[in-house]
Amino acid sequence: MGFLRFLLRSSVLGLLGLSWLLAGVYLYLDPGLPDVETLRDVRLQTPMQVYTRDGHLIGQFGEQKRNPLRFEDIPPQFVQALLAAEDDRFFTHRGVDLAGLMRAVSELALTGEKGSGGSTLTMQVARNYFLSLERTFTRKFNEILLAIKIERALEKEEIFELYFNRVFLGHRAYGFEAASQVYYGTGIGELTLAQHAMLAGIPKAPSRNNPISGPQASKERRDWILGRMLSLGYIQQEHWAAAVQEPASAQHHGAQLSFAAHYAAEMARQEMLERYGMSAYTDGYHVYTTINSELQQLAQQTVVNGLMTYDRRHGYRGPERQLPPPTDAGQADGRATAAWLAALADTPVVAGLTPAIVTRLREDRVDLLFSDGTSSELLWDDGLRQASPYLTENSMGRAPSSIADVVSAGDLIRVQRKDDARWHLSQVPAAQAALVSLNPDNGAIVSIVGGLGFESSKFNRATQARRQPGSSFKPFVYSAALEAGFTAASIINDAPVVLEDTSLEDIWRPENDGGRFYGPTRLRWALTQSRNLVSIRLLQQIGVPALIRHVERFGFDTSEFAPDLSLALGTHVMSPLQLATAYAVLANGGYAVQPFLIERIEDTDGNVVFAAAPPTVCRDCPPARSLEGAAPERELRMEEILAGATEADSTTPPRAERVMDERSNFILTSILKDVIKRGTGRRALTLGRDDLAGKTGTTNGPMDAWFSGYNRDVVTTAWVGFDNYTPLGRREFGGTAALPIWIDYMRGALRDSPDVQPPLPPGVVHVRIDPDTGLLARPGQQNAIFEYFREDRVPAPSGGAGDAGLRGTTEDLVRDIF
């Protein structure tokens, strides 16, 4: 009895001592513990997501991949899988599982090493949000105390949600929804029981137990969790049996984009980084751009198709690489196959063009090997027969007579699957292209393509390239002329000119395309046929300084303009976006707009933190203020392009400023419609519309091919050229290389747009003229044609002195206006 009494007394004293010890530890540690109430408003690092205007995800940027979910959106089956793996008594304990702690103490006593630590989900939340990962007794006590506090402050569902969204799961995935996207390419709600168990097994050892880095270990862990779910009564025997037999299917998936629009997404990323700094990558911003998803995909495809068509006209350049062939000419050996697969793994798909290795040549086909180890064949008639070799940009060799003339075993080539489901020989075009399309009423970028493929070149030619526009700049010379007092019927002599300009290095003898000269020519016909000499003589009369001041209104950065007469032929440099912005003024009736890409920005809670309010053309408003005396300098800055000039502070955007007379704008557009009806843009007649206007552009070489065109609803610029300024080929012009891209895009862009002719503006008249003199036609004149004029500039009747009088006042008009 005395011994029992002693033992009882000792136990009581021991428990009292332990209680005092624990109380002392609590009093010592508690003041330094963080406030668990902060978990109610925790801000997880969430990547920035970029969307089209109609809500399609086109970009995701951030170091941590995370897609937070609310508890009610988490599949119950996954909740059970995680509880089986980590803490099956989660919904009954108060933050600390005493049985688990005793097990951990036993492991420590028996082995001398720290085991799992008996951590509950709540304790792991405390560790993940507040503590370090070091395994010490002090941290463990802090973990226990914080877990108890968390349980008192939050509901169980809130605690589970915090764990679900925060835990690291390998491959930059944080939270189980992000892990589901990374490993299976879909949301966690779409996964099978086996996949749920696979994900639930990762937290114990994210680097070793994830299904990509450790497939065997992760499968063993998965099967153990399935067994636990069975023993806990979460699943039935037949479900367990099916799940353990399910083969592992995980593979790495990137961000689940609706479609790739990398150039647009990258532009948005740059602006967000400039606006918010590095927090742009972690604060979960949702960036909604002005991009129209349907038109963006159309733009990307038309650029690829246009470059492929150009490329086929110039011959086959051969394989991208030539790898060692197999030692046995008739059959690939293992060593060759391994080298081929390694080369294919390093060769990305570009613009839908798939890399493949030629493994064997047959009489009428070749065998192909792809990066995933699968095989197929390429028939002689599917591109091999047509693969005449490239010699120069102007010539090709003879058509091949056999497969051996085109490819050899070990060649790395490109193939493309077409509508017939067969593979066709192809190659990555060496030329590049850009396309940008705007809403002319406010400058919103509805589609933008900066090159053949972002995978092969991140250089955005739509915004960053500086290329000569050639004749596609001429409309702005004619715009200045119309504003200065010339008319569409004014006569300029298309004749040779020799210029000794002090700003030019040598004597300049410009010519028309083809070397011919056509004598006295009306301005309308000169622009329709893109006559170089008329543009130069016109600029001589307007004056270079006056032209530069005039075109600044259209958004051109004139700091890169050489102040000489070569401006008339578009020898200065600009980006496709700058040119499209200027054409938007022609399309919207004469108002200046600024291009922008970001329409609004929302924070992680859906609050709008930025909304663009660009100057906008109001079609139904009374006339805007006059442009008299206004010639604002309007260099386009990147931040303006990306986010608009102003933020919204009201529901009504500011009105765009008029920078071109409405009457002159109407007359110039009517001339540019003639470019399509009977000039260098005639290919566009295939669209079957009467409301289209535009202008081709081709530079010396030719090195650049352009087409810019519009109707009232859409303005689009297409450019084709080589990054290294290699000539395109002597038969390549704006109308052959760039215009087909523009046509294919506009066919889709205008599908639902009515073909509407604008009304005649006040102050414009439509009268009959003599086509030879540009004067009013005589009564009954047989060859008379109709022309548009401003009421105050109707010419004199034919045969009078009015023509001389009009010419005599030109210089005075120029001085008055400029």
SS3 label, residue 579: helix
Residue 702 preceded by cis peptide, ω within 30? yes
Q: Kindly write down the DSSP assignment for every residue of 238-289, as one continuous string.
A: HHHHHHHHSPP---------SS--HHHHHHHHHHHHHHHGGGGGTB--EEEE
Tell me whether residue 566 is one of the annotated catalytic residues.
Answer: no
The count of other CB atoms within 10 Å of the CB of residue 419 is: 5
Exposed, middle or buried: residue 777 (CB in 10 Å: 0-12, 13-18, 19+)?
buried
- Catalytic residue chosen out of the listed positions 471, 479, 530, 708: 471
Cα 606 off chain centre by:
23
Distant-in-sequence, close-in-space partners of 241: CB < 8 Å, separation ≥ 6: none
Q: Let me know: does 366 contact 360? Beta carbons within 8 Å.
A: yes
- 3-class secondary structure, 571: coil
Q: Is 791 a catalytic residue?
A: no
The active-site residue out of 86, 143, 732, 787 is 86
Whether 549 contacts 439, CB under 8 Å: no
Q: What Rg, from alpha-carbon coordinates, does the chain have?
A: 36
As given in the structure block, the two tokens for residue 298 are 């159309």
Which residues neighbour 277 within 8 Å (Cβ) at sequence distance 6 or greater?
A: none
d(CA 438, CA 530): 25
Helix, strand and coil content of the chain, in percent to the nearest 5, comes to 40, 15, 40
Sign of CA dihedral 234, 238, 240, 242: negative
Distances in Å between the Cα of 264 and the Cα atoms of 7, 46, 140, 294, 439 are 78, 21, 49, 14, 16
Residue 209 · residue 223 · CB < 8 Å = no
Instruction: Report d(CA 549, CA 631) in Å as an integer.
Output: 7
Residues 474 and 530 sit within 8 Å (Cβ to Cβ)? yes
Q: Which residues are catalytic?
A: 86, 471
